[in-house]
Structure 1
Amino acid sequence: MSESHDVIDHRRLGRELELFDTDPLIGAGLPYWLPDGAVVRHALEEYVREAERRAGYRHVYSPVLGKRELYEISGHWAHYSDDMFPPMEVGGEEMVMRPSLCPHHAVIFRSRAHSYRELPLRMAELGGMYRSELSGVLGGLTRVRAIQLNDAHIFCTLDQVAEEAAGALELIRAAYAAMGIVPVRYRLSLPGPGGKYVDAPEKWERSTALLREVLDASGLDYEEAAGEAAFYGPKIDVQVADPAGRESTLSTVQVDFHQPEQFDLHYIGADGAKHRPVMVHRSVIGSVERAVAHLVELHAGAFPAWLAPVQLAVLPVSDTEYDTAARLAAHATALGLRADVLPPSRGTLGARIRAARLAPYQAIIGAKEAAADEASLRLRDGRRPDPMPVEELLDRVRGLVAEHSTRLWD
């Protein structure tokens, strides 16, 4: 899909493609996902969870609320409260919608005794967090008040930090290749002046040195940016740009000495004594909302096959072939593909081909194909492989989708 007259805006295109929408009764900055958008979101979530599982992460769920005291201990209340929703009085206690998942994960780590043999312990969650964004900055999926974050925290020894951070960068690299995203730059985000940051110069120096080591060893070009760090530590930000050239952060890797100390986290070392772990924060795809917004604009709605709401559009030439087409679509669905039939009642064959233009694969079935149990395949990029048996077509398409790449065909 091309738009030569203006820059693609995910807010408009996302609504045209029926991916998401908003309603004043729900509120600003609180989009809801329509079925096709939910498919894209679910595919992203499945991909990243499986990538994390293969990389040795264990997944957890934690509540979206916490007592105010939790965020006082973590430092969020002192350094981040302007971006948090106000406390709610519940049963005589002040409860807060969480602005971040890390305090919850610190508490989960603290709930069990740990040996050095368990480290690194990689804890992941795709969970909700909430930011009290001003109405003037809200827009589409890029700035929202309810965020689903692909988050993880690695509890490790000091000697393991560099390797774990490098492993997180590799997960990000692989995910970007699958999504077709090319970062515009890598940024080492450092503290700036003022009281926004935790006052612990030695910790800042150690964590910054570790991230510089990781970036230098990776061979990536990067820039340093003062005033862009998290309040508790420096971070590597992976920067992407929208079609208008506006830059934003999608993925991050952070080193944190602050919260392990605040929550008194420890593990038992080989010497039998207690030792403080380091906390590495990382997000492979960032928030699901911002990732989908970027993908909509990057691909103009023509998502990689593994993300496409409809992966295989089946088009019978006439009503005579409809039942054959319906069986093909049902078989494709049973095999795990997202398939849809566009019957002749929806227009001429040419009109239906145009209507299904964003589907990566179109299977066209006429009288000849139906008789031979074949289908003529059209690719979204205009290529037309030779007609092939239905089973071969489905095997090829399934294999290409399973690759999680931007490749449409061999």
Structure 2
Amino acid sequence: MHDHSQLGRDLGLFDTSPLVGPGLPLWLPDGAVVRGELERFAADLARRSGCHRVSTPVLAKRELFERSGHWQKFSADMFPPVRVGDEEYVLRPANCPHHTQVYAARPHSYRDLPVRYAELGSMFRSELSGVLSGLRRVRQINLDDAHSFCRPDQVVAEVRTALAGIEEAYRVLGVRVSRLRLSLRGDRGAHLGDDDVWRRAEDQLREALGDRPYEEAPGEAAFYGPKVDVQVADAAGREETLSTVQVDHVQPERFGLEYVGADGARHRPVMVHRGLLSSMERLVAVLLEQDGGRWPTWLAPVQLLVLPVSGDRHGAHARALADRLDGLRVAVDDAGPLPRRVRAARERRVSHVAVVGDAEVADGSVAVDGERVPVGRLHADLLDAVARRAR
């Protein structure tokens, strides 16, 4: 089993600093590349499902979270308020209250719905030092988050869209699902909203799941609504939630959200929360432990490493070749004996290594896995793998 925390440091993906503080990882250049590609993937998935990108502040008045219910439920896990004049501001523990205000900023008709917003936003949790763990438990979470505001008759379709997006994402990333968990209300006092609303939301999730196998888990719901949790397990069998879809009748009610129906009257939308890729931190941890730091070409910090047999004789050719390979992340290593550079490339889990010597310089090829390949063909093949996000 791979330890993502040690492996991530060994591969130069992230690190921590005692001056910055625990639970606040620093993304190093190679790690920032991986995270950036995952963010682009999340944006593509969101766009294809009809989401509009939004951007909201990480701070808000305490009043926002009192209205949403987060303050009552999570204030012990939030950072202390900052006083500005006569008002208190807090770092957000979730993005959804901000998105209710994006929805409320414009009037909506039943014809507009569903309205979908997506944001890869930062959230903050005041975790105790003893529970912090690599990228899995951190104090700043960068979450792939989307919220759909829809009519009640659209809820099932919205949940199905979210589940299909999760399945597509996992197929591309090679993530293996342990099980689907339908998280239901438990102790009545721990959740907001009346019984009829909860029963309706739970039935909508059951209908959306269809013939997918799942297990019901009373007491695991969010405080504002039931949810489908996508559970993944590591090599040691430890299970955690990676992605989630939640049906929320409560926050639209608490914020007074409305749309004008076909009858001309004002109606309340339903809010469907969905996190397709989870937080960037947790997802990178899962992928590191799953694949041992061997990234598919589209995610790899270095997509092609060019090794000249002799730095003196072939180094200039290797650098010129790298400059011609537009659209790829290419590096050249020409320092030291070739066998040592090959071993170093393996240790770095470099996706593709091309060697150039006298023969390759003469005929415009490179040696990849012992086979001479024309540079143009290698370039086209790698660009195709990146475009398809092939594994």
Question: What interval of TM-score do these two structures reach, taking the shorter chain for normalisation?
Answer: over 0.9
Asked if 1:56 corresponds to 2:50, the answer is yes
Q: Specify the alignment match of 1:396 in structure 2.
A: 381
| Deviation by residue 1:142-172 (Cα, 9 ceiling, x = unmatched) | 0001110000000111111111111111111
Whether 1:331 aligns to 2:324 is: yes
Given candidates 277, 290, 296, the residue that maps to 1:285 is 277
The correspondence of residues 6-405 of structure 1 with structure 2, limited to 5 A, is 7-193=1-187, 195-215=189-209, 217=210, 219-319=211-311, 320-332=313-325, 335-343=326-334, 345=335, 347-357=336-346, 358-378=349-369, 384=370, 386-405=371-390
Asked if the contact 1:184–1:240 (Cα under 8 Å) also holds between the matched residues in 2, the reply is: yes
Q: Distance in 1 between matches of 2:170 and 2:390?
A: 9
**Matched residue SS, 1:228:** coil
Aligned residues of 1:18 and 1:34 also touching (Cα < 8 A): yes
Please report how far the alpha carbon of residue 196 of structure 1 lies from its aligned counterpart in structure 2 after TM superposition: 2.5
What secondary structure is seen at the aligned counterpart in 1 of 2:71? helix
Which shifted more, 263-272 or 248-257?
263-272
CA contact (8 A) 1:315 1:325 kept: yes
Mapped to 2, the partners of 1:342 and 1:327 lie a distance apart of 13
Structure 1 contact 312–338 (Cα < 8 Å) conserved: yes
The structural deviation recorded for 1:194 is 6.0
Q: CA deviation digits over 1:239-293, x for unaligned, max 9?
A: 1112221111110000000001111111112222211111000011111000001
Residue-pair matches, total = 388
Write the distance in 2 (CA, Å) between the matches of 1:355 and 1:227: 50
- Residue identity over aligned pairs, in percent, reads 54
Q: Deviations over 1:180-206 (max 9, x none)?
A: 111111111112226321142111111
Q: Report the aligned-residue RMSD.
A: 1.2
Mean CA deviation greater in 147-156 or 219-228: 219-228
CA distance in 1, matches of 2:161, 2:173: 19
Secondary structure of 1:118's partner? coil
Q: Which amino acid aligns with 1:271?
A: D
- The DSSP-based 3-state class of the residue aligned with 2:235 is coil
Q: Is the 8 A contact 2:193 2:250 kept in 1?
A: no
Any runs of at least 4 consecutive aligned residues in structure 1 with deviations exceeding 3 A, and if so which?
none
Provide the secondary structure at the position in 2 that maps to 1:388. strand
Gaps of 5+ in 1: 1-6, 379-383
TM-score, length-normalised on structure 2?
Answer: 0.97
CA distance in 2, matches of 1:203, 1:350: 66
Q: Is the 8 A contact 1:130 1:146 kept in 2?
A: yes
Q: Distance in 2 between matches of 1:348 and 1:201?
A: 71
Cα displacement (A) at 1:331: 2.0
Unpaired stretches in structure 2, ≥5 consecutive residues: none
Deviation at residue 23 of structure 1 after TM alignment: 1.4
Retained in 2: the 8 A contact 1:177–1:405?
A: no
Code of the aligned partner of 1:65: L
Write the letter of the residue equivalent to 2:375: V
Letter in 2 for 1:90: V
Q: Secondary structure at the match of 1:356?
A: helix
Q: Secondary structure at the match of 2:60?
A: strand
Distance 2:324 2:284 in 1: 29
The aligned residue for residue 3 of structure 1 is none
Distance 2:117 2:232 in 1: 26
Between 1:200-209 and 1:121-130, the stretch displaced more is: 200-209
Q: Is the 8 A contact 2:16 2:22 kept in 1?
A: yes
TM-score if structure 1 supplies the norm length?
0.92
- The one-letter code of the counterpart of 1:70 is L
Secondary structure at the counterpart of residue 152 of structure 1: strand
Contact conserved, 1:166 with 1:214, CA < 8 A, in 2?
Answer: yes
Q: Which amino acid letter does the alignment assign opposite residue 392 of structure 1?
A: R
Greater displacement, 251-260 / 131-140:
131-140
